[in-house]
Structure 1
Amino acid sequence: MSEESPESRSAAEDDGESARVEQADERTDGADETEAVDATAADDEPESPTVEGPESALVSRVTEFDETLAEDVAALEARLAATEAELEERDERIEELESALKRSKADFKNYKKRAKKRQEEIRERATEDFVGRIVSVRDNLVRALEQDEDADIRPGVESTLEEFDRILEEENVEAIEPEPGSDVDPTRHEVLMRVDNDLPEGSVVDVYRPGYEMAGAVVREAQVTVSTGEGGDDSASAAAGEE
């Protein structure tokens, strides 16, 4: 067997080194291509959807399992928050209305008190005015009684009566004095007795005491006598007997 020369071994070693260098370059090129492909793939991947605004703990937990359901939960929470805000606003409005109602009730109660007090003051002043006018009538009567016993006081009394009637008229007071033969009004007349008379039965015969009414309201009923309707028949029978 022939021995290999040093020159042959050196050439073989150089060929092997060249082959190793080529393989290393191939591996490097392949790695670069892989990294480029991975970068392109990363750029082409769609971005995951994000929820604007802070997420609640419930939404965060649901997102781990189902992003679509998490979006629905977030929408429901937003609606719930809006509803709670609306209810709070309504509660505030109700409190305002209740407070206004209480103030209105208090104001109305105070108004009633003031109105009642005002009416009492008007009534008192009206009474004072009326008394101030009728005392002059009393003064006239006192002066009439102070006349001598033989003095004719009738003119003075008539004048005083006229003054008194004038005061009553100013106060819108009218006398109730039904005419004989008029019908009895139970709301304005008080029947004292029934008398035999030729006037129609149940009609007024005479006024015993006049009544008074003020502004359409009866102050005192008139006391009257009423006919039985039998007086006319007795007169007719007596006349026939005489004949």
Structure 2
Amino acid sequence: MFRTLVETAAKMTDSNETTTAPETDAAPKQQAPASSDAVAALEAEVASLKDQLLRSMAEAENTRRRAQKEREDTAKYAVSGFAKELLAVADNLRRAIDAVPAETRAGNEQVNTLLTGVEATERQLVAAFDRAGIVKLEPMGQPFDPNFHQVVAEVDGTDKPAGTVVTILQPGYTIHGRLLREAMVCVAKAGANPGKVDTSA
């Protein structure tokens, strides 16, 4: 009888262990949500740091490009002030050449020799301008452009569309595409009096 009681107690113990076993297996499942939340938080933090890094790299690249452009512009336009002073020299050389009539030059060897030297000087100056990126504006027959031209007068009866440049009083210049000096011009004005100049512009 004692053996029977022992066997019955053993069976009851085995039954209790079998019943409580699922509780042990359920414990890890309760920790899974907490682990997923931690991974999601880390992923979000990594994404945020990556975004900040990309923004910082882009800003650094933009800063580098701006600095490089400023250096290039400084090198390009460093001679602007000096070049503007030389424009008057170019103007005077051209005036000296244009002031002598062709017949006077042809009939006077000394005058011809002198003008030949002036022309050579002008060519050297123009070549220096070319090397520095300085370009002469010659807008004859072109529409008036307020970005590069200054109107001195309007001329009636030129048979040209209104606003067309018909006379260049002083040529303009640019340096690497940037305005160095405006061209002073006369433009066509719609009217019926040929050759009349209106200086009220």
- Alignment TM-score, normalising by the size of structure 1: 0.49
Post-superposition Cα deviations, 1:180-220, rounded to whole Å, max 9, x if no partner, equal: 4x443444433221123443352322111222345555554
**Unmatched segments (≥5 aa) in structure 1:** 1-33, 53-67, 145-149, 235-243
- Residues 1:81 and 2:31 aligned together: yes
d(CA) in 1 for partners of 2:171, 2:195: 30
The letter for the 2-side match of 1:155 is T
- Structure having greater relative contact order (Cα 8 Å, sep ≥ 6): 2
1:159 is aligned, of 120, 127, 133, to: 120
Distance 1:216 1:119, change over 3 A: closer
Aligned-partner SS, 1:87: helix
> Residue 178 of structure 1: SS of its match in structure 2?
coil
Identity %: 19
CA distance in 2, matches of 1:156, 1:42: 132
Q: Deviations over 1:148-184 (max 9, x none)?
A: xx9975434322322232233344443222234x443
In the alignment, structure 2 segments of 5+ residues that lack a partner are 94-109, 197-201
**Distance in 2 separating the partners of 1:222 and 1:127:** 19
Change (3 A) 1:122 1:194: closer
1:107-126 matched pairs, under 5 angstroms:
107-126=57-76
CA–CA distance in structure 1, aligned partners of residues 195 and 132 of structure 2? 45
Contact 2:156-2:195 at 8 Å conserved across structures: no
Distance 1:83 1:158 in 2: 91
How many equivalent pairs are there? 169
Contact 2:77 2:175 in 1 (8 A): no
TM-score calculated relative to the size of structure 2: 0.56
Name the Cα RMSD after superposition.
4.4
The answer for the alignment partner of 1:230 in structure 2 is 192
Larger radius of gyration: 1
The equivalent residue for 1:94 is: 44
Q: What is aligned with 2:160?
A: 200
